Chain A
Amino acid sequence: MKFWQRIFLCTLIIFEIFFVPASIYLIDSSFELNLNMEIRSGISEQDRFANSLESNLYLLKVQKSSNPDTEGVGKQNIDSMISTYLNNLGEQDVYLDVIDENNKVIFSHFKNNKITLTHREELNIPSDKVNYIIRDLGEKTYLFIAKNISLENNHYKVSYVKDISSVYENRKDLLSLLIKLNALISAILVIVTILMSMFIVKPINKLIKSTRIIASGNFSERVKVKSNDEIGLLAENFNLMAVDVEDKVNQLKKTSEDKQRFIDNLVHELRTPLTSIIGYADYLRTNKYDEKTYINSLSFIYEEGKRLEKLTFKLMELIVLRKEDFELKKGKLDELFVEIKNSFIPKLNIKNIDLEISTEHLSVLMDKDLMKILLANLIDNAIKASKNNDKILLRSYRNTESKIILEVKDTGIGIPDDDITKVFEPFFMSDKSRSRANGGGLGLGLSLCKEIAKIHDAEIRIESKLGEGTMIQLVFHC
């Protein structure tokens, strides 16, 4: 059910519940009042008739007494007096009827007006009381009022009948007016509620429109509803939610893109050696070859196989690093440096490179094996970048913020500015062909270092100038 329909229905129900009964109650009260008024006026009217009959009798008596010939006032005289009097009395909508003790009709207006009655309960009047009854006769409603009067010991029943249909018709008219009015008001109510709900619903519709856009995946959309009411508040909260969702979605997107790039690169790194291995093997089994081709081909197969092996191990390391919780213990950096240097002596000797250690006595929380991998990667990179007889500086110190710094600095070829942000990406190689020629780098070393640094809550910084050398710092935060 639409909002405006709901508002309309509620308003209509409330209106009907209060307005209709109240109106009916008012109409009924007014009807009651009118009826009572009619009855009262009828009774007093009747009273007036009775009184006037009595005063007529009195006049008759006076007349008779002034004329001694006559012998008193008889019933007949009285009957004719009543008849005469009432005949002269012509009032509209009012009918009179007089009956004597023996139910003999003395006078009646009814006969002329085609009113015939079978039962006349109102005539059973207990002595002095006035009795009345309301009767429907044909289309009309009449008020019957009966009263006993006694004229010279003759008892008469005087009935006063009045047409009070108008009172009933009045009520009927009012009721039909109420129905018409009700219909009219309902119609007006529809229009008013539609307009009103349109006004109320407008910001909600705006909200709906925006939320639909957001729901369809356009998370950068914002709800543009500005008001201080509940809807404004809802819009505000919705916007906050949208911001949050957008952030999360972007984060997920980035993670997924990173993963996709990782996989793409991995596929490339796997395919290249596989192409060689399969290709050479296929060549050797399907072609005639000389000794030189044979040895060359096998060498390539061997080297590329080794390369795949190395890649597998590095990948394993990377995966393990991402998964495991490492227990960090306090370890001395200077001891670590010496150990590392010893393991690198053969490699250093090939290029006649001097690895200079300068260290303060510093200890940090570390996993010694991981830290060795990190240092080995950094030094390996430095050696690759260096020319023969260069110098590599390995040092540790506290910087001005008294944070512990571990630093590897070479005077080698450096990294181009464009590449410096990408060096930590898996499989990135600043110059692929050279690093291949230079001992088969995989482009995973610095990614590994980054993961290891993360485990140690340390930050890796890199500074490099093309042709002048590279400096990599590990800044410990603890």
Chain B
Amino acid sequence: MIKILVVEDDIAVANLIKLNLNTANYESSIAFNGEEALRVIESDRFDLILLDVMLPKVDGFTLFEKIKPLGIPVIFLTAKSSVADKVYGLKAGVDDYITKPFEGIELLARIENVLRHYNKKSNIINFKDTEVHLQEMQVKKNGEMIELTLKEFELLVFLVQNKNIVLTREKLIEKIWGYDYIGETRTIDNHIQKLRKKLEWKDEIKTVFKLGYRLEE
């Protein structure tokens, strides 16, 4: 199981991150300040670190410089949206950056991205009897190839990556069709219908009243 360290001084935020990580089946621990984080990193092995920039005692940048030699992927969490800070962080070799306030899905997506980059995450996602090959862009159900359009494939990937989480229609539009998509949300409903039909996922893809859809295991 992938282990993630959350370094965040705000208990509420730390707890929230932990909740989100748990739903995505990550193991996580929390450090409330830089010193504590250093201690935990020395004694335990982590696959990824979520690091708040504004920390008491040892700030995020300083901490990052110290743990850099370990080669653990690091994503910065910060309330500072200043470009200078981001540039500093990315130049220093931070893998990604998330600005508060952030949404759980965004956080998970970025974590997955970074992990895949480090080959810690397989390129094949399994869901029940279905295999989704991200690299080859293929979907197999019981070993049989399923033909999907590009949009259908992207939608499927997003669903299996965020299983058990409700994906709102706005979120789906934003993610699959892009911010500037001007169209009706019915397009999504149509694509969902097609997925349900092609994969025989009538029950798996649940419609959540007024919100969107959820892929249930």
Contact = CB atoms under 8 A, between A and B. Distances in A.
A273 B12 contact: yes
Given A279-B16, A286-B168, A297-B19, A274 B56 contact: no
Interface stretch (A2-10, A188-196, A214-222, A431-439): A431-439
A76 interface: no
Contacts of B164: 287-288
A297 B11 CA distance: 12
Contacts of A296: 15
Contacts of A431: 56
Contacts of A273: 12
Where chain A touches its partner, the secondary structure class is helix
B104 A286 contact: yes
Nearest to A297: B19
B79 interface: yes
B115 interface: no
Contacts of B32: 433
Given A276-B10, A276-B13, A437-B11, A283 B102 contact: no
B19 A278 contact: no
Contacts of A288: 164
Interface in A273-328: 273-276, 278-280, 282-283, 285-288, 293, 296-297, 300, 303-304
B33 A433 contact: yes
A272 interface: yes
A271 B104 contact: no
Given A268-B79, A273-B12, A283-B20, A278 B33 contact: no
B2 interface: no
Contacts of B214: 286
Contacts of A283: 16, 19-20, 104
Contact of B166 (A271, A278, A286): A286
Interface range, A side: 20 to 34
Contacts of A437: 11
Nearest to B17: A279
A432 B9 CA distance: 8
Interface string A46-84: 000000000000000000000000000000000000000
Given A283-B104, A285-B211, A437-B11, A268 B54 contact: yes
B103 interface: yes
B178 interface: no
A196 B26 CA distance: 86
A115 interface: no
Contact of A272 (B13, B33, B56, B103): B13
Interface in A246-282: 264, 267-268, 271-276, 278-280, 282
A153 B100 CA distance: 142
Interface in B157-173: 164-168
B116 interface: no
A303 B166 contact: no
B104 A267 contact: no
B45 interface: no
Nearest to B19: A283
Given A271-B79, A303-B12, A286 B56 contact: no
A348 B104 CA distance: 41
B68 interface: no
B13 A286 contact: no
Nearest to A268: B79
Residue among A286, A297, A300, A303 with most chain B CB within 10 A: A286
Contacts of B193: none
Nearest to A300: B12
Interface in B19-71: 19-20, 23, 32-33, 54, 56
Given A283-B20, A287-B23, A433-B56, A274 B12 contact: no
B9 A433 contact: yes
Residue among A275, A276, A287, A437 with most chain B CB within 10 A: A275
A285 B56 CA distance: 32
Contacts of B105: 286
A275 B23 contact: no
B211 A275 contact: no
A275 B8 CA distance: 12
A288 B211 CA distance: 14
Interface in B68-98: 79-80
Nearest to A432: B56
A275 B166 CA distance: 19
Nearest to A270: B79
A278 B23 CA distance: 17
B143 interface: no
Given A268-B80, A287-B23, A288-B164, A436 B11 contact: yes
A437 to B, nearest CB: 7
A268 B52 CA distance: 12
A279 B11 contact: no
Interface in A397-439: 431-433, 436-437
B183 interface: no
Interface string B112-133: 0000000000000000000000
Interface in A435-449: 436-437
Contacts of B33: 433
A280 B104 CA distance: 9
Residue among B79, B103, B164 with most chain A CB within 10 A: B79
Given A272-B100, A273-B12, 8 more contacts: A274-B101, A279-B104, A283-B16, A283-B104, A286-B211, A287-B166, A432-B56, A436-B11
Closest 10 CB pairs of A and B: A275-B101, A286-B166, A276-B12, A271-B79, A279-B16, A275-B100, A300-B12, A268-B79, A433-B9, A274-B101
6 contacts: A272-B13, A275-B79, A276-B13, A278-B103, A280-B16, A286-B105
